Amino acid sequence: MAVGVLSLRSDFCRQLLEYRPAAIRGNASEIMALAGLPVSGRGVDSQHAASQAIEAGHRLARACGAVVVISGVQDYLCDGEQTLSVSGGDAMMTQVVGTGCALSALVAAFACLPGERLENLACACWLFARAGEQARRLARGPGSFRSDFIDALWQLSHRELTP
């Protein structure tokens, strides 16, 4: 999103909140900026730990009705009342351009599923983390990690999808 760093994107994302999205996914700096808090960031890289944005996530969720996913070493999901956390993944995920966008796409898909949205999005984060762990076991570096990660998402079996 680059919210908080680029004014054009920040303004656009704030306008989108009026449409009451089902889900919002960003790093801690982006979520804090979207919630109206002053932050520092470097492009799409967060300068804050995900745990530092939990209250901002709840504030944002209450304001627009979305489940807010704060991604980081530990992911946090906020619906304005409850907080869920998902751990896992691998540090190599931060070395590959587009993993945050891929998580956003998975979150969007899981937001459409029937059932409890907060739990559905936690499952999306859990699935993403498991794929990252599986890819890291196979990868030789960031280049092969990207391919192995896509393959890992595609290959996860039903048994592996049960937390």
pLDDT tens by residue, 81-131: 999 999 999 999 999 999 999 999 999 999 999 999 999 999 999 999 999
State in Å, rounded, how far the first CA of the chain is from the last one. 29
Q: Retrieve residue 74's tokens.
A: 């530990």
Domains of the chain: 7-161 (3.40.1190.20)
Distance CA 29, CA 71 (A): 10
Q: What is the pLDDT of residue 5?
A: 60
67 pairs with which residues across the strands? 23
The CA distance from 129 to 141, in Å, is 18
Asked if 101 and 93 count as a contact pair (C-beta separation under 8 A), the reply is no
Return the SS3 of 48: coil
The proportion of the chain whose per-residue pLDDT surpasses 90, expressed as a percent, equals 74
Of residues 149, 156, 125, 124, the one with CA closest to residue 135: 149
Tokens of residue 158, six digits: 């039903």
C-alpha to C-alpha distance for 73 and 70, rounded to whole angstroms: 10
- Per-residue pLDDT, 13: 85
Closest alpha carbon to 63 in 17, 118, 32:
17
DSSP character at residue 67: E
Pair type for strands 67-71 and 23-27: parallel
Q: What is the pTM of this model?
A: 0.90
Write out the H or E segment, with its range, that includes residue 17: none
CB distance 23 to 69 below 8 Å: yes
- Residue 159 and residue 163: Cα distance in Å, rounded? 9
Q: For 8-36, what is each residue's pLDDT tens digit?
A: 778 888 899 999 999 999 999 999 999 99
